[in-house]
Amino acid sequence: MTFLKQTLIFLFVLTATGLHTHAQVLDHSWKDVVLKMDDSWYGTTEAQDIAEQVLLYQKDNGGWEKNIQMQNPLSDSEKQKLQASKSDSNRCTIDNGATYLEMVYLSKVYKHTKNEIYKTGFLKGLNYLLEAQYPNGGWPQYYPLRKGYYTHITYNDGGMINVMSILQDINTGSKTLGIPVDEITLEKTQTAFNKGISCILKTQYKQNGILTGWCAQHDETTFLPAKARAYELPSLGGVDTAQIVLLLMNIEHPSDEVKRAVEAAATWLEKTKITGLKEERYMTADGEKEKRYIEDPNAEPLWARFMDLENNTPFFCDRDGIKKASIMDISRERRVGYAWYNTQPNKVLKVYPKWKASLKPTPKDSYKVTVAQDGSGDYTNIQDAINNSKSFPYDRITIFIKKGTYIEKVHVYEWNPKITLIGEDKNETIISFNDYFKSINLGRNSTFHTSTVLIEGHYTQLKNLTIQNTAGPVGQAIALSINANACLIENCTILGNQDTVYLTGENHKQWFKNCFITGTTDFIFGNATALFTDCEINSKSNSYITAASTEKHTAFGFVFKNCTLTATKEANQVYLGRPWRYYAKTVFINCNLGKHIKAEGWHNWNKKEAETSSFYAEYNNTGAGANTKNRVPWSHQLSKKEAKTYTTKNILGINAETEWLQ
């Protein structure tokens, strides 16, 4: 055989094989290429070639456009156009599987090849999803935001649930995706997932006061069902509900709220299933595609895509936006070209009994419980432990919290007094959230809704915990808020920026012992009486430490005894305090004041009258910032006799060191 002939045969075989393999891929939709190929295929050269195209389609902001068959070969000119359009991100979306499918595909190819460019593309997509999330936890259909229904929180076609499934996979150790992330990114994905769950719980629709299912779209502000296209009216949806419930049932240690949501939705799906009806597709005499629904007692149950919000009645809609009672009352184009019924809820009802049986029973009226994220305790999150605590108990309830970062908003209610939250390790038992003024968006008083931990139960104790608001320097963002009397905060680290600790309630008294508190502006504020002993108060910027708003007839405001005032290198001009309200009272006794404390010491907040109505004083302080020579003339230096009145008993009451600690 001649060399030329051998070469021609080789090229023919190579070309034929390549065309055959390529044809196999092209026979699939992009979704099938991502989800249904044999696992080993994702390590092939062909799969990597497609991955290169996926990266080419990715926009600079990390997202992708929808309805693109990524596996189709591209010409050189098409590649050039894509490269030139990377900065145009206006059509990036999570609709129809966009961004989700591309990220899953890159992860599968990376899993086999370990090529860092695929990991980089995946992480870039992840950053896009994190950036696109609303502060309330939902995701819009398009990001950057586009006007119209695209801004709604979108469950339609699995939009938000696809995103949540990626986050869930990362949070549980990338069991499917195979792309590990660093600790900072992991914390972001955990926060995003928890906020997403919170959004899901808030959007579950109540019908006559009873939880049911979810809708395709919910308003991003009110959480109410919302309209999309003309034929997509506000309604309850079987398929949207099913996808959400399957996600919730996949949470390893579900909270009580999640359990209630699943149970209510499963009940609603059982109630709304349609039996004895079968879809039949056929060709009309004129060669047009058509479908109808016929009676069949053996048919698998169906659920309507759209159900009336008041009575669950299925309805159908044409492009005129008018509800119809029968699918035959709408045009053939809409009847055939849209999925009006779905069987996916059958999967929910099939796995629900097993999920229900797997739930660990919660303890009843226990006075000592344990919270552990790994499921080894009585609860996996702190709020569930509080919610199941006995109201107005005679004895103290102790909730022991094992090491871990608990990304949740914690609320100790007024009917939960005498609760102790005690961490296993101050540095490794962390309660964290990231709400801030603008993210709350509830008007001028949004600050007071931002707290990571909110205490309203009297005699609450917090010990060996780190409590943080991780929103960053974005304005008011409370880490710890206390509106209760006789609360003890001991050996805790409280981290934030502006407004870190809010202490409030007329006649309320609180005690901080051996704590570390850091922030930027007014990071200890409010009208309660609070004693700080042996604490480190750390300033992160040139601003004000305290902003008391003490009531006129209250004897003591904020009192710092034996505390150390420190600062980061960025802070070198810090005031001890300023009056949020006219009768503010703040005193520092036997404290070490760092060199960052301004010579003037105090600021009047541009309220001249506050100079006479407020009371700012110091006694026997040390350190570079303790020189009182240049203090503002309206501040006070206590006499030895006056200083003696600042005892724990006088400030907090005679029972502070006995009853408070019981």
493 touches 470 (CB < 8 A) = no
For residues 531 and 512, the answer to whether their CB atoms sit within 8 Å is yes
For residue 363, the model assigns a pLDDT of 60
14-57 pLDDT tens trace: 344 344 344 456 668 999 999 999 999 999 999 999 999 999 99
Gyration radius of the chain's alpha carbons: 31
Closest C-alpha to 437, from 428, 429, 449, 427: 449
- Please tell us whether the domain made up of 204-359 is placed in CATH 1.10.3720.10: no
* 336 pLDDT tier (thresholds 50, 70, 90): confident
Q: How confident is residue 289, by pLDDT bands cut at 50, 70 and 90?
A: confident
Averaged pLDDT, 448-466: 97
**So what's the pLDDT on residue 279?**
87
Task: Dig out the tokens for 658 from the structure.
Answer: 């006995």
**pLDDT band at 639; cut points 50, 70, 90:** very high
In this structure, the number of other CB atoms found within 10 A of the CB of residue 185 comes to 15
Residue 653 CB neighbours (<10 A): 15
Per the annotation, the verdict on 499 as an active-site residue is yes
The DSSP H or E segment spanning 513 is strand 509-513
Over range 163-168, report the average pLDDT: 96
Cα of 170 vs its chain's centroid, Å: 15
Chain mean position to CA 387: 20
Q: For residue 26, what pLDDT is reported? A: 60
Instruction: Give the pLDDT of residue 523.
Output: 98
Q: What integer is the mean pLDDT of 388-413?
A: 94
For residue 549, which amino acid is it?
A: S
What pLDDT does residue 183 have?
Answer: 87
Report the pLDDT averaged over residues 159-177: 91
- Secondary structure element (H or E) that encloses residue 509, with its range: strand 509-513
Would the pLDDT of 365 be above 60? no
Would you state the pLDDT for residue 16? 40
Assess whether 318 carries a catalytic annotation. Answer: no
- How confident is the model over 492-497, as a mean pLDDT? 98
pLDDT band, very low/low/confident/very high, at 462 (cuts 50, 70, 90): very high
In the predicted structure, residue 13 carries a pLDDT above the cut 70: no
Asked whether the CA dihedral 103, 109, 113, 117 is positive or negative, the reply is: negative
| 177 neighbors 110 (Cβ within 8 angstroms) | no
447 residue type, one letter: T
| Three-class HEC string of 479-492 | CEEECCCCEEEECC
Domain covering 393-661 in this structure, CATH number: 2.160.20.10
> Mean pLDDT throughout 449-457?
97
What pLDDT, on a 0 to 100 scale, did the predictor assign at position 566? 98
Q: Is the pLDDT of residue 8 over 90?
A: no
Phi-psi region of 562 (alpha: psi -120 to 50; beta: other; left: phi over 0): left
- CA terminus-to-terminus distance, the chain: 98
For the cut 70, the answer to whether the pLDDT of residue 4 exceeds it is no
Q: Please, is 31 exposed, middle or buried when counting C-beta atoms within 10 Å of its C-beta (0-12, 13-18, 19+)? A: middle
Total length of the chain: 662
Mean pLDDT of 286-305: 90
Rounded-to-integer distance, Cα 654 and Cα 102, Å: 65
C-alpha to C-alpha distance for 63 and 580, rounded to whole angstroms: 45
Ranges 54-58, 310-314, 329-333, 641-645: which has the least confidence: 329-333
What is the identity of the amino acid at 290?
Answer: E
Q: What is the pLDDT of residue 362?
A: 59
What residue spans define the domains of the chain?
27-202, 204-359, 393-661
Catalytic residue among 27, 88, 499, 534: 499
Distance CA 198, CA 205 (A): 14
- Cα dihedral across residues 258, 259, 264, 268: positive or negative: positive
The CATH architecture one would assign to domain 27-202 is Alpha/alpha barrel (1.50)
In DSSP terms, 494 is beta-bridged to 467, 517
Mean pLDDT, residues 571-593: 97
Q: What are phi and psi of 429, to 5 degrees?
A: -110, 100
Which among 563, 617, 575, 633 is positioned nearest to 599, based on CA atoms?
575
- Write the DSSP assignment of 444-469 as a string of letters: TTGGGG--SEEE-STT-EEES-EEEE
Q: By the 8 A CB rule, do 619 and 644 touch? A: no
Q: Where is average pLDDT lowest: 229-233, 288-292, 413-417?
A: 288-292
Tell me whether the CATH fold assigned to 27-202 matches the one assigned to 204-359.
Answer: yes
pLDDT for position 662? 56
pLDDT digits (tens, 9 = 90+) for 591-619: 999 999 999 999 999 999 999 999 999 99
Report how far residue 648's alpha carbon sits from residue 639's, in angstroms, rounded to the nearest whole number.
Answer: 18
What's the whole-model pTM score? Answer: 0.77
What mean pLDDT is reported for the chain? 92
